Structure 1
Amino acid sequence: MTDFWFYLKEGIIHILDLDGLDHFYFILSFCILFSFKDWKKIIGLVTAFTFGHCITLFLSGLELVTINADTIELLIPITILLSCINNFYVLLKDKQSKQQLVITYIILLIFGLIHGLGFSNYIKMMLFDDESIVLPLLGFNVGIELAQLLIVTGLLIVLSVFQLLLKSKMRSVRLAINTIIFVLVVMMML
Protein backbone atom coordinates (compact mmCIF):
# COMPACT_ATOMS: atom_id res chain seq x y z
CA MET A 1 0.00 0.00 0.00
CA THR A 2 2.96 2.31 0.47
CA ASP A 3 3.52 2.13 -3.31
CA PHE A 4 -0.01 3.42 -3.82
CA TRP A 5 0.65 6.46 -1.59
CA PHE A 6 4.00 7.11 -3.26
CA TYR A 7 2.41 7.18 -6.71
CA LEU A 8 -0.57 9.18 -5.46
CA LYS A 9 1.85 11.88 -4.27
CA GLU A 10 3.65 11.69 -7.62
CA GLY A 11 0.33 12.27 -9.43
CA ILE A 12 -0.41 15.32 -7.29
CA ILE A 13 3.10 16.69 -7.83
CA HIS A 14 2.79 16.06 -11.58
CA ILE A 15 -0.32 18.26 -11.86
CA LEU A 16 0.84 20.98 -9.45
CA ASP A 17 4.35 21.24 -10.97
CA LEU A 18 4.91 24.77 -12.30
CA ASP A 19 7.01 23.33 -15.14
CA GLY A 20 3.84 21.68 -16.42
CA LEU A 21 1.68 24.73 -17.01
CA ASP A 22 -0.11 22.90 -19.80
CA HIS A 23 -2.27 21.20 -17.14
CA PHE A 24 -3.16 24.50 -15.53
CA TYR A 25 -3.97 26.16 -18.86
CA PHE A 26 -6.12 23.25 -19.87
CA ILE A 27 -8.02 23.07 -16.59
CA LEU A 28 -8.54 26.83 -16.67
CA SER A 29 -9.67 26.65 -20.29
CA PHE A 30 -12.58 24.37 -19.54
CA CYS A 31 -13.41 25.79 -16.09
CA ILE A 32 -14.04 29.32 -17.31
CA LEU A 33 -17.35 28.24 -18.81
CA PHE A 34 -18.71 27.07 -15.45
CA SER A 35 -19.48 28.14 -11.89
CA PHE A 36 -19.94 26.31 -8.59
CA LYS A 37 -23.54 25.45 -9.46
CA ASP A 38 -22.13 23.25 -12.26
CA TRP A 39 -19.99 21.18 -9.91
CA LYS A 40 -21.38 17.83 -11.14
CA LYS A 41 -20.51 18.68 -14.75
CA ILE A 42 -17.04 19.82 -13.71
CA ILE A 43 -16.31 16.63 -11.77
CA GLY A 44 -17.42 14.66 -14.83
CA LEU A 45 -15.14 16.72 -17.06
CA VAL A 46 -12.14 16.32 -14.77
CA THR A 47 -12.81 12.59 -14.52
CA ALA A 48 -13.01 12.32 -18.34
CA PHE A 49 -9.47 13.68 -18.52
CA THR A 50 -8.23 11.33 -15.80
CA PHE A 51 -9.95 8.36 -17.45
CA GLY A 52 -8.22 9.09 -20.78
CA HIS A 53 -4.91 9.62 -19.00
CA CYS A 54 -5.32 6.31 -17.17
CA ILE A 55 -6.13 4.35 -20.33
CA THR A 56 -3.06 5.44 -22.28
CA LEU A 57 -0.75 5.23 -19.26
CA PHE A 58 -1.90 1.66 -18.75
CA LEU A 59 -1.58 0.73 -22.44
CA SER A 60 1.82 2.36 -22.78
CA GLY A 61 2.94 0.86 -19.44
CA LEU A 62 2.21 -2.54 -20.94
CA GLU A 63 4.01 -1.38 -24.09
CA LEU A 64 0.90 -1.90 -26.22
CA VAL A 65 0.91 1.70 -27.46
CA THR A 66 3.84 3.98 -28.22
CA ILE A 67 3.89 7.28 -30.05
CA ASN A 68 6.82 9.57 -30.81
CA ALA A 69 7.40 11.97 -27.89
CA ASP A 70 7.77 14.98 -30.22
CA THR A 71 4.36 14.26 -31.72
CA ILE A 72 2.80 14.08 -28.28
CA GLU A 73 4.50 17.31 -27.21
CA LEU A 74 2.88 19.02 -30.21
CA LEU A 75 -0.54 17.43 -29.66
CA ILE A 76 -0.80 18.50 -26.01
CA PRO A 77 -0.95 22.25 -26.73
CA ILE A 78 -3.17 21.61 -29.75
CA THR A 79 -5.77 20.06 -27.44
CA ILE A 80 -5.63 23.18 -25.24
CA LEU A 81 -6.13 25.35 -28.32
CA LEU A 82 -9.12 23.20 -29.30
CA SER A 83 -10.57 23.75 -25.84
CA CYS A 84 -10.08 27.51 -26.25
CA ILE A 85 -11.70 27.45 -29.71
CA ASN A 86 -14.64 25.56 -28.22
CA ASN A 87 -14.85 28.24 -25.51
CA PHE A 88 -14.85 31.06 -28.08
CA TYR A 89 -17.72 29.35 -29.85
CA VAL A 90 -19.72 28.88 -26.63
CA LEU A 91 -18.99 32.37 -25.27
CA LEU A 92 -19.73 34.18 -28.51
CA LYS A 93 -22.92 32.17 -28.94
CA ASP A 94 -23.63 33.09 -25.28
CA LYS A 95 -25.09 29.67 -24.56
CA GLN A 96 -23.73 26.19 -24.01
CA SER A 97 -25.88 23.50 -25.57
CA LYS A 98 -25.89 19.85 -24.53
CA GLN A 99 -24.10 19.08 -27.79
CA GLN A 100 -21.37 21.60 -26.93
CA LEU A 101 -21.00 20.05 -23.47
CA VAL A 102 -20.50 16.64 -25.10
CA ILE A 103 -17.79 18.20 -27.31
CA THR A 104 -16.10 19.54 -24.16
CA TYR A 105 -16.17 16.03 -22.63
CA ILE A 106 -14.64 14.59 -25.80
CA ILE A 107 -11.90 17.25 -25.84
CA LEU A 108 -11.06 16.43 -22.21
CA LEU A 109 -11.00 12.70 -22.84
CA ILE A 110 -8.73 13.16 -25.87
CA PHE A 111 -6.44 15.47 -23.92
CA GLY A 112 -6.22 12.81 -21.22
CA LEU A 113 -5.39 10.14 -23.80
CA ILE A 114 -2.69 12.32 -25.37
CA HIS A 115 -1.22 13.49 -22.10
CA GLY A 116 -1.13 9.94 -20.74
CA LEU A 117 1.06 9.01 -23.71
CA GLY A 118 3.27 12.02 -23.04
CA PHE A 119 3.86 10.90 -19.49
CA SER A 120 4.26 7.18 -20.16
CA ASN A 121 8.06 7.21 -20.40
CA TYR A 122 8.35 8.83 -16.98
CA ILE A 123 6.06 6.30 -15.33
CA LYS A 124 7.95 3.41 -16.99
CA MET A 125 11.23 4.72 -15.55
CA MET A 126 9.67 4.89 -12.07
CA LEU A 127 8.51 1.26 -12.10
CA PHE A 128 10.76 -1.59 -11.06
CA ASP A 129 11.19 -4.42 -13.59
CA ASP A 130 9.09 -6.92 -11.65
CA GLU A 131 6.54 -4.40 -10.37
CA SER A 132 2.91 -4.61 -11.44
CA ILE A 133 1.69 -1.41 -13.09
CA VAL A 134 -1.85 -1.60 -11.70
CA LEU A 135 -1.32 -0.18 -8.19
CA PRO A 136 1.17 2.52 -9.28
CA LEU A 137 -1.10 3.68 -12.10
CA LEU A 138 -4.14 3.68 -9.83
CA GLY A 139 -2.31 5.74 -7.22
CA PHE A 140 -0.86 8.09 -9.82
CA ASN A 141 -4.23 8.73 -11.47
CA VAL A 142 -6.01 9.22 -8.13
CA GLY A 143 -3.34 11.82 -7.33
CA ILE A 144 -3.95 13.50 -10.68
CA GLU A 145 -7.69 13.59 -10.03
CA LEU A 146 -7.25 15.07 -6.53
CA ALA A 147 -4.83 17.75 -7.72
CA GLN A 148 -7.10 18.70 -10.61
CA LEU A 149 -10.09 19.01 -8.29
CA LEU A 150 -7.99 21.22 -6.00
CA ILE A 151 -7.10 23.49 -8.93
CA VAL A 152 -10.71 23.52 -10.15
CA THR A 153 -11.94 24.53 -6.69
CA GLY A 154 -9.44 27.41 -6.55
CA LEU A 155 -10.35 28.57 -10.04
CA LEU A 156 -14.06 28.46 -9.27
CA ILE A 157 -13.48 30.56 -6.16
CA VAL A 158 -11.63 33.16 -8.25
CA LEU A 159 -14.36 33.11 -10.92
CA SER A 160 -17.00 33.51 -8.19
CA VAL A 161 -15.24 36.62 -6.90
CA PHE A 162 -15.15 38.00 -10.45
CA GLN A 163 -18.87 37.14 -10.75
CA LEU A 164 -19.67 39.10 -7.58
CA LEU A 165 -17.62 42.10 -8.66
CA LEU A 166 -18.33 42.17 -12.39
CA LYS A 167 -21.78 40.57 -12.73
CA SER A 168 -22.75 41.87 -16.14
CA LYS A 169 -19.24 41.65 -17.56
CA MET A 170 -18.54 37.96 -16.85
CA ARG A 171 -18.81 37.00 -20.50
CA SER A 172 -16.11 39.56 -21.31
CA VAL A 173 -13.95 38.32 -18.42
CA ARG A 174 -14.28 34.73 -19.66
CA LEU A 175 -13.45 35.80 -23.22
CA ALA A 176 -10.38 37.71 -21.98
CA ILE A 177 -9.13 34.76 -19.91
CA ASN A 178 -9.70 32.41 -22.84
CA THR A 179 -7.79 34.74 -25.18
CA ILE A 180 -4.87 34.95 -22.74
CA ILE A 181 -4.74 31.14 -22.49
CA PHE A 182 -4.88 30.84 -26.27
CA VAL A 183 -1.97 33.27 -26.73
CA LEU A 184 0.12 31.64 -23.97
CA VAL A 185 -0.36 28.21 -25.50
CA VAL A 186 0.56 29.45 -28.99
CA MET A 187 3.72 30.93 -27.44
CA MET A 188 4.39 27.58 -25.72
CA MET A 189 4.14 25.82 -29.05
CA LEU A 190 6.59 28.22 -30.69
Structure 2
Amino acid sequence: MTDFSLFLNEGIIHILDLDGLDHFYFIISFCILFSFKDWKKIIGLVTAFTLGHCMTLFLSGLELVTINANSVELLIPITILLSCLNNFYVLFNNKQSKQQLITTYIILLIFGLIHGLGFSNYIKMMLFDEESIILPLLGFNLGIELAQLLIVAGLLTVLSALQLLFKSKIRWIRLAINALIFLLVVMMML
Protein backbone atom coordinates (compact mmCIF):
# COMPACT_ATOMS: atom_id res chain seq x y z
CA MET A 1 0.00 0.00 0.00
CA THR A 2 1.44 3.39 -0.94
CA ASP A 3 1.83 6.22 1.55
CA PHE A 4 -0.94 8.13 -0.20
CA SER A 5 -3.47 5.28 -0.05
CA LEU A 6 -2.45 4.42 3.53
CA PHE A 7 -3.12 8.00 4.65
CA LEU A 8 -6.29 8.23 2.53
CA ASN A 9 -7.57 5.20 4.42
CA GLU A 10 -6.46 6.73 7.75
CA GLY A 11 -8.38 9.93 6.98
CA ILE A 12 -11.55 7.96 6.25
CA ILE A 13 -11.17 5.80 9.35
CA HIS A 14 -10.41 8.80 11.54
CA ILE A 15 -13.67 10.53 10.64
CA LEU A 16 -15.83 7.41 10.77
CA ASP A 17 -14.33 6.25 14.10
CA LEU A 18 -17.11 6.01 16.68
CA ASP A 19 -14.65 6.99 19.43
CA GLY A 20 -14.39 10.46 17.86
CA LEU A 21 -18.00 11.55 17.64
CA ASP A 22 -17.14 15.26 17.87
CA HIS A 23 -16.37 15.36 14.16
CA PHE A 24 -19.59 13.53 13.35
CA TYR A 25 -21.58 16.00 15.47
CA PHE A 26 -19.88 18.94 13.79
CA ILE A 27 -20.68 17.70 10.29
CA ILE A 28 -24.32 17.19 11.21
CA SER A 29 -24.45 20.61 12.88
CA PHE A 30 -23.38 22.49 9.77
CA CYS A 31 -25.45 20.42 7.32
CA ILE A 32 -28.72 20.09 9.20
CA LEU A 33 -30.19 23.20 7.58
CA PHE A 34 -29.86 21.80 4.06
CA SER A 35 -31.37 19.17 1.78
CA PHE A 36 -30.24 17.34 -1.38
CA LYS A 37 -31.28 20.29 -3.56
CA ASP A 38 -28.54 22.29 -1.80
CA TRP A 39 -25.80 19.82 -2.75
CA LYS A 40 -23.54 22.49 -4.31
CA LYS A 41 -23.69 24.61 -1.16
CA ILE A 42 -22.99 21.58 1.02
CA ILE A 43 -19.98 20.49 -1.02
CA GLY A 44 -18.70 24.06 -0.75
CA LEU A 45 -19.20 24.06 3.02
CA VAL A 46 -17.51 20.69 3.49
CA THR A 47 -14.63 21.77 1.24
CA ALA A 48 -14.21 25.10 3.09
CA PHE A 49 -13.93 23.14 6.33
CA THR A 50 -11.46 20.68 4.78
CA LEU A 51 -9.33 23.50 3.33
CA GLY A 52 -8.99 25.07 6.77
CA HIS A 53 -8.27 21.66 8.20
CA CYS A 54 -5.67 20.94 5.50
CA MET A 55 -3.89 24.29 5.97
CA THR A 56 -3.50 23.71 9.69
CA LEU A 57 -2.26 20.16 9.21
CA PHE A 58 0.34 21.32 6.69
CA LEU A 59 1.52 24.18 8.90
CA SER A 60 1.59 21.92 11.93
CA GLY A 61 3.26 19.09 10.01
CA LEU A 62 5.99 21.52 8.96
CA GLU A 63 6.14 22.64 12.62
CA LEU A 64 5.29 26.23 11.71
CA VAL A 65 2.24 26.27 14.00
CA THR A 66 1.83 24.71 17.42
CA ILE A 67 -0.86 25.13 20.03
CA ASN A 68 -1.55 23.61 23.40
CA ALA A 69 -3.51 20.36 22.93
CA ASN A 70 -5.82 21.14 25.88
CA SER A 71 -6.79 24.46 24.29
CA VAL A 72 -7.64 22.74 21.02
CA GLU A 73 -9.64 20.06 22.83
CA LEU A 74 -11.74 22.84 24.37
CA LEU A 75 -12.08 24.85 21.15
CA ILE A 76 -13.37 21.92 19.07
CA PRO A 77 -16.59 21.39 21.05
CA ILE A 78 -17.05 25.16 21.25
CA THR A 79 -17.10 25.28 17.43
CA ILE A 80 -19.86 22.65 17.44
CA LEU A 81 -21.88 24.60 20.00
CA LEU A 82 -21.49 27.79 17.95
CA SER A 83 -22.67 25.95 14.84
CA CYS A 84 -25.72 24.69 16.78
CA LEU A 85 -26.46 28.20 18.07
CA ASN A 86 -26.40 29.46 14.48
CA ASN A 87 -28.82 26.68 13.54
CA PHE A 88 -31.20 27.68 16.33
CA TYR A 89 -31.15 31.24 15.04
CA VAL A 90 -31.86 30.19 11.44
CA LEU A 91 -34.51 27.61 12.39
CA PHE A 92 -36.39 29.92 14.76
CA ASN A 93 -36.34 32.75 12.22
CA ASN A 94 -37.22 30.25 9.47
CA LYS A 95 -34.82 31.75 6.92
CA GLN A 96 -31.20 31.88 5.90
CA SER A 97 -29.88 34.85 3.96
CA LYS A 98 -27.17 34.78 1.30
CA GLN A 99 -24.98 36.89 3.61
CA GLN A 100 -25.42 34.31 6.36
CA LEU A 101 -24.36 31.55 3.96
CA ILE A 102 -21.19 33.46 3.00
CA THR A 103 -20.47 34.00 6.69
CA THR A 104 -20.97 30.27 7.26
CA TYR A 105 -18.33 29.47 4.59
CA ILE A 106 -15.84 31.75 6.36
CA ILE A 107 -16.70 30.34 9.77
CA LEU A 108 -16.27 26.78 8.51
CA LEU A 109 -12.87 27.64 7.09
CA ILE A 110 -11.85 29.02 10.51
CA PHE A 111 -13.39 26.06 12.33
CA GLY A 112 -11.47 23.78 9.95
CA LEU A 113 -8.27 25.46 11.10
CA ILE A 114 -9.18 24.67 14.71
CA HIS A 115 -10.21 21.08 14.02
CA GLY A 116 -7.01 20.57 12.02
CA LEU A 117 -5.01 21.47 15.11
CA GLY A 118 -6.79 18.62 16.87
CA PHE A 119 -5.47 16.18 14.27
CA SER A 120 -1.98 17.66 14.11
CA ASN A 121 -0.44 15.58 16.92
CA TYR A 122 -2.10 12.45 15.56
CA ILE A 123 -0.72 13.00 12.07
CA LYS A 124 2.76 13.92 13.37
CA MET A 125 2.96 10.58 15.19
CA MET A 126 2.26 8.79 11.91
CA LEU A 127 4.93 10.58 9.87
CA PHE A 128 8.57 9.67 9.94
CA ASP A 129 11.21 12.42 10.17
CA GLU A 130 12.78 11.63 6.81
CA GLU A 131 9.47 11.33 5.01
CA SER A 132 7.89 14.04 2.86
CA ILE A 133 4.66 15.16 4.47
CA ILE A 134 2.96 16.41 1.31
CA LEU A 135 1.53 13.16 -0.12
CA PRO A 136 0.55 11.69 3.25
CA LEU A 137 -1.22 14.90 4.26
CA LEU A 138 -2.99 15.16 0.92
CA GLY A 139 -4.11 11.56 1.24
CA PHE A 140 -5.25 12.08 4.82
CA ASN A 141 -7.23 15.21 3.93
CA LEU A 142 -8.80 13.59 0.88
CA GLY A 143 -9.85 10.69 3.12
CA ILE A 144 -11.38 13.18 5.55
CA GLU A 145 -13.25 14.91 2.71
CA LEU A 146 -14.61 11.60 1.37
CA ALA A 147 -15.73 10.44 4.83
CA GLN A 148 -17.39 13.79 5.52
CA LEU A 149 -19.29 13.61 2.23
CA LEU A 150 -20.41 10.09 3.13
CA ILE A 151 -21.78 11.35 6.47
CA VAL A 152 -23.48 14.28 4.71
CA ALA A 153 -25.10 11.93 2.18
CA GLY A 154 -26.38 9.73 5.01
CA LEU A 155 -27.74 12.73 6.93
CA LEU A 156 -29.46 14.17 3.87
CA THR A 157 -31.01 10.79 3.10
CA VAL A 158 -32.43 10.56 6.62
CA LEU A 159 -33.67 14.17 6.51
CA SER A 160 -35.28 13.57 3.11
CA ALA A 161 -37.10 10.49 4.40
CA LEU A 162 -38.26 12.41 7.48
CA GLN A 163 -39.45 15.25 5.27
CA LEU A 164 -41.51 12.83 3.18
CA LEU A 165 -43.04 11.32 6.31
CA PHE A 166 -43.55 14.50 8.33
CA LYS A 167 -43.76 17.25 5.69
CA SER A 168 -44.75 20.24 7.78
CA LYS A 169 -42.81 19.17 10.87
CA ILE A 170 -39.33 18.96 9.32
CA ARG A 171 -38.26 22.26 10.86
CA TRP A 172 -39.13 20.91 14.32
CA ILE A 173 -37.28 17.68 13.58
CA ARG A 174 -34.20 19.70 12.58
CA LEU A 175 -34.55 21.71 15.81
CA ALA A 176 -34.78 18.49 17.84
CA ILE A 177 -31.69 16.99 16.19
CA ASN A 178 -29.81 20.26 16.66
CA ALA A 179 -30.82 20.41 20.34
CA LEU A 180 -29.71 16.80 20.81
CA ILE A 181 -26.30 17.54 19.29
CA PHE A 182 -25.99 20.65 21.46
CA LEU A 183 -26.73 18.63 24.62
CA LEU A 184 -24.40 15.77 23.63
CA VAL A 185 -21.55 18.21 23.05
CA VAL A 186 -22.18 19.98 26.36
CA MET A 187 -22.07 16.57 28.08
CA MET A 188 -18.89 15.74 26.18
CA MET A 189 -17.29 18.96 27.44
CA LEU A 190 -18.26 18.22 31.03
What is the TM-score of this pair, normalised by structure 2? 0.98
Counterpart position of 1:57? 57
Counterpart position of 2:136? 136
Q: Once the 2 structures are TM-superposed, how far is the Cα of residue 134 of structure 1 from its aligned partner?
A: 0.4
1:89 and 2:104 are equivalent in the alignment:
no
Counterpart position of 1:178? 178
Q: Tell me, yes or no, if the aligned pair for 1:90 and 1:100 is still in contact at 8 Å.
A: no
Q: Once the 2 structures are TM-superposed, how far is the Cα of residue 104 of structure 1 from its aligned partner?
A: 1.8
CA distance in 1, matches of 2:75, 2:92: 25
Counterpart position of 1:16? 16
Q: Once the 2 structures are TM-superposed, how far is the Cα of residue 73 of structure 1 from its aligned partner?
A: 0.1
Q: Once the 2 structures are TM-superposed, how far is the Cα of residue 164 of structure 1 from its aligned partner?
A: 0.1
- 1:95-174 → structure 2 map (5 Å cutoff): 95-174=95-174
Q: Tell me, yes or no, if the aligned pair for 1:81 and 1:185 is still in contact at 8 Å.
A: yes
Q: How many residues align?
A: 190
Counterpart of 1:109 in structure 2: which amino acid? L
Counterpart of 1:6 in structure 2: which amino acid? L
Q: Tell me, yes or no, if the aligned pair for 1:79 and 1:107 is still in contact at 8 Å.
A: no
Counterpart of 1:182 in structure 2: which amino acid? F
Q: Once the 2 structures are TM-superposed, how far is the Cα of residue 103 of structure 1 from its aligned partner?
A: 2.3
What is the TM-score of this pair, normalised by structure 1? 0.98
1:30 and 2:35 are equivalent in the alignment:
no
Counterpart of 2:45 in structure 1: which amino acid? L
Secondary structure at the aligned position of 1:92 is classed as: helix
State the identity as a percent: 84
In the TM superposition, structure 1's runs of 4+ consecutive aligned residues that sit over 3 Å from their partners are: none
Counterpart position of 2:75? 75
CA distance in 2, matches of 1:172, 1:64: 45
Q: Once the 2 structures are TM-superposed, how far is the Cα of residue 109 of structure 1 from its aligned partner?
A: 1.3
User: Where in structure 2 are there 5+ consecutive unaligned residues?
Assistant: none
- Structure 1 vs Structure 2 CA RMSD: 0.9
CA distance in 2, matches of 1:185, 1:132: 36
